[in-house]
């Protein structure tokens, strides 16, 4: 038997460290070659690390939430045969030129575990200790489990314990469950609504949530945010969109408002190159980018992600629509690669029908501008002699006032407004 050290492979271009977000194995467990050992999170992508060999786990290199440098010991395995020779070959993944995890390399996204692994390492479920989280209801005919003291109190109080749900291990009914039932004086199903909840659930801020927290705080601390809100008449744009969608061609995705806005952004930044830029405040330089790489803020089960539609200046309307949809799905399913989640030069954030009237978006630093989309609504609009119903929508945008003046920002938004309100101008090549 030999010892084989599995090191954290290079999980992406320029990534020096990664945060351990999940262990798929436990000490003492035997693993097969290619069995997933752990999930680590780099800048924004989660990467599953498979085992290079079969063996038995002797030690784990970090706790969940810990940060490991690339090349640091991830797992120590006991393997058949010579261990030492293998150690040299261990970080073979690091040798790959482009090891950035692709969808194919990650058959299992971080939140899902294979059933085999689930069985091999069953973590103790959190034990509910208060009324706040009741155990599952008993199967019909199953006897309630309670200590003699609880049974006696229940009997004295005239309570049939079969109606009381237990919060203890194996559904055991404790004094506190009986107290709660007696306070509620009602069937167990409704009692939780009346019981003061004293439980505090401490959730470790790890993984994506930690990244988001760091990035948001960093952006708010460093960028001098100012917000600018303007209303836009999208009646004509909605007419156009409806007409285009009515064609319903198989090869084209349905259009949302997003690709039109992206198109407007592409046209507007051509006139305002300072908006499509990255501000390195330490080097005190601004990189104005020729390519328009638009970040699309996307809600995923694990939190906010910003997949990037690259080179929008080269894309048509349907192309952008298809790419937005593809990236959003990949992000939601945890398949988005690091490349797909980085490199944006300007960002759009939209909550769709939940968009509210006004938002104050946080700039996706080191970018300098973010355009927020609020909800559409048909409103009466005064047109000289009368009110007419128009489909109106607000754009709430934030800019880094350190490098963008209010006057420039206002003109930029007015340019977008003009493009959107006369949608034909979006597509006129000058």
Partner 1 sequence: MADIAAKVLVVGGGPGGYVCAIRAGQLGLDVVLVEQGGLNGGLGGTCLNVGCIPSKAMIHAADAFHHAVRQAASAPFGLRVERPTIDLARTIEWKDGIVGRLTSGVGTLLKRHRVKIVHGHAGMLDGKTCRVETDTGPQVIRAEHVVLATGSEAAPLAALPFGGKVISSTEALSLHTVPERLAVIGAGYIGLELGTAFAKLGAKVTVIEAADRILPVYDAELARPVARRLQALRVDVLTRAKAVGLADEGGAVQVDQEGAPKCTVAADRILVATGRRARLAGFGLERLDLTMNGPFVHVDERCATSMRNVWAVGDLTGEPMLAHRAMAQGVVVAEVIAGHRRVFDGAVIPAVCFTDPEVVTVGLSPDEARRAGREVHVGTFPFQANGRALTLGAEEGFVRVTARADNHLVLGVAAVGAGVSELAGAFALALEMGATLEDIGGTIHAHPTLGEAFHEAALRGLGEALHV
C-alpha of 240 from chain center = 32
Partners of 279 in the beta sheet? 286
Residue 170 binds partner 1 (CB under 8 A): yes
Task: Write down the least CB distance from residue 363 to partner 1, Å.
Answer: 50
Smallest distance, Å, CB 157 to partner 1? 9
| Residue 160 sits in the site that holds partner 1 (CB under 8 A) | no
What are the beta bridge partners of residue 73? 7
Give the C-alpha separation, 330 to 233, whole Å. 32
Spatial CA neighbour of 43 closest among 215, 228, 254, 270: 215
Q: Residue 387, preceding bond cis, omega within 30 degrees?
A: no
- Is 405 a catalytic site residue? yes
Tokens of 17: 């460290």
How many alpha carbons lie under 13 Å from residue 156 in its C-beta half-sphere?
A: 8
97: contact with partner 1 by CB under 8 A: no
Does 141 participate in binding partner 1 (rule CB under 8 A)?
A: no
Among 81, 107, 169, 273, binds partner 1 (CB under 8 A): 169
Cβ(275)–Cβ(228) below 8 Å: no
Count residues binding partner 1 (CB under 8 A): 14
Candidate list 102, 114, 129, 147; residue touching partner 1; CB under 8 A:
147
| Min separation Cβ 165 and partner 1, Å | 14
Shortest Å distance, C-beta 323 to partner 1: 47
- Residues 135 and 168 sit within 8 Å (Cβ to Cβ): yes
Measured from the CB atom, the residue of 145 and 227 that comes closer to partner 1 is 145
Is residue 155 close enough to count as binding partner 1 by CB under 8 A? yes
Q: Is residue 168 near partner 1 by the rule CB under 8 A? A: yes
**177 assigned to active site:** no
Angle between helices 235-247 and 406-421 (to 10 degrees): 50
Q: In the complex with partner 1, which residue's Cβ is closer, 168 or 361?
A: 168
Question: Which is the catalytic residue, given 84, 199, 280, 405?
Answer: 405
Q: Whose Cβ is closer to partner 1: residue 62's or residue 161's?
A: 161
Residue 147 Cβ, how far from partner 1 at the closest point, in Å? 5
246 lines the binding site for partner 1 (CB under 8 A): no
Q: Which residue has the tokens 């009602």?
A: 186
Residue of 121, 151, 379, 401 interacting with partner 1 (CB under 8 A): 151
**Of 30-38, 141-149, 218-226, 248-256: span binding partner 1 (CB under 8 A):** 141-149
Q: Find residue 261's DSSP bridge partners.
A: none
Does 101 interact with partner 1 (rule: CB under 8 A)?
A: no
Q: Which stretch binds partner 1 (CB under 8 A): 40-48, 163-171, 242-250, 300-308?
A: 163-171
Q: Does 145 bind partner 1 (CB under 8 A)?
A: yes
Cβ nearer to partner 1, comparing 66 with 135: 135
- Nearest approach, Cβ of residue 156 and partner 1 (Å): 6
Provide the β-strand partners of residue 210.
Answer: none
Distances (CA, A) of 385 to 235, 377, 378: 19, 22, 19
Tell me which of 11, 40, 117, 146 binds partner 1, using CB under 8 A: 146
H helix or E strand, kind and range, residue 304: strand 303-305
Tell me how far apart the alpha carbons of residues 51 and 38 are, in angstroms, rounded to a whole number: 9
Regarding 401 and contact with partner 1 (CB under 8 A), the answer is no
For partner 1, which is the closer residue by CB, 150 or 321?
150
Which of 97, 115, 148, 196 touches partner 1 by CB under 8 A? Answer: 148
Query: Which member of 115, 123, 158, 353 binds partner 1 (CB under 8 A)?
Result: 158
| Torsions phi, psi for 84 (to 5 deg) | -60, -45
Any contact of residue 172 with partner 1 (CB under 8 A)? yes
CA distance linking residue 312 with residue 265, whole number of Å? 9
CA nearest to 377, candidates 397, 354, 344, 396: 354
3-state secondary structure (DSSP) of residue 47:
strand
Confirm if 80 and 93 have CB atoms less than 8 A apart: no
**What are 247-255's contacts with CB under 8 Å, separation 24+?**
252/318, 252/321, 253/318, 253/321, 253/322, 253/325, 254/321, 255/317, 255/318, 255/321
Stretch binding partner 1 (CB under 8 A), from 99-107, 115-123, 142-150, 361-369: 142-150
**Minimum distance between the CB of residue 136 and partner 1, rounded to whole angstroms?**
10
CA angle 396, 219, 358 (to 5 degrees): 15
Contact residues for partner 1, defined by CB under 8 A: 145-148, 151-152, 155-156, 158, 168-172
Active site residues: 401, 405
């Amino acid at each position: 038997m030999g010892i084989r050290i599995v090191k954290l492979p290079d999980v992406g271009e320029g990534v020096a460290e990664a945060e351990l977000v999940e262990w798929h194995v436990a000490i003492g467990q035997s693993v097969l070659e290619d069995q997933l050992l752990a999930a680590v999170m780099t800048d924004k992508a989660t990467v599953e690390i498979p085992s290079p060999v079969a063996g038995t786990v002797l030690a784990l290199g970090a706790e969940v939430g810990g940060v490991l440098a690339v090349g640091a010991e991830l797992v120590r395995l006991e393997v058949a045969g010579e261990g030492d020779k293998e150690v040299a070959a261990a970080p073979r993944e690091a040798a790959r030129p482009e090891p950035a995890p692709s969808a194919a390399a990650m058959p299992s996204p971080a939140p899902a575990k294979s059933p085999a692994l689930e069985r091999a390492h069953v973590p103790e479920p959190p034990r509910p200790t208060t009324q706040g989280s009741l155990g599952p209801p008993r199967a019909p005919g199953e006897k309630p489990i309670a200590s003699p003291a609880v049974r006696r109190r229940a009997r004295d109080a005239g309570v049939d314990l079969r109606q009381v749900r237990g919060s203890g291990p194996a559904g055991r009914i404790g004094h506190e469950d009986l107290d709660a039932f007696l306070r509620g004086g009602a069937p167990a199903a409704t009692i939780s609504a009346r019981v003061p909840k004293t439980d505090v659930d401490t959730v470790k801020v790890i993984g994506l949530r930690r990244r988001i927290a760091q990035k948001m705080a960093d952006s708010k601390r460093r960028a001098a945010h100012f917000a600018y809100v303007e209303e836009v008449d999208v009646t004509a744009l909605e007419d156009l969109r409806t007409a285009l969608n009515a064609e319903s061609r198989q090869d084209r995705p349905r259009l949302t408002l997003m690709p039109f806005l992206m198109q407007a952004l592409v046209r507007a930044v051509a006139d305002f190159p300072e908006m499509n830029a990255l501000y390195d405040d330490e080097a005190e330089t601004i990189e104005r980018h020729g390519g328009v790489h638009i970040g699309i803020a996307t809600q995923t089960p694990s939190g906010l992600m910003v997949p990037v539609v690259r080179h929008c200046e080269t894309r048509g309307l349907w192309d952008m629509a298809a790419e937005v949809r593809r990236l959003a799905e990949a992000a939601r399913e945890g398949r988005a690669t690091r490349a797909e989640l980085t490199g944006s030069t300007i960002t759009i954030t939209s909550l769709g029908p939940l968009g509210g009237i006004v938002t104050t978006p946080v700039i996706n630093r080191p970018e300098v501008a973010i355009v927020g989309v609020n909800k559409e609504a048909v409103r009466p609009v005064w047109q000289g002699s009368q009110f007419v119903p128009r489909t109106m929508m607000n754009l709430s945008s934030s800019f880094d006032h350190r490098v963008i003046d209010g006057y420039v920002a206002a003109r930029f938004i007015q340019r977008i407004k003009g493009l959107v309100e006369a949608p034909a101008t979006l597509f006129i090549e000058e």
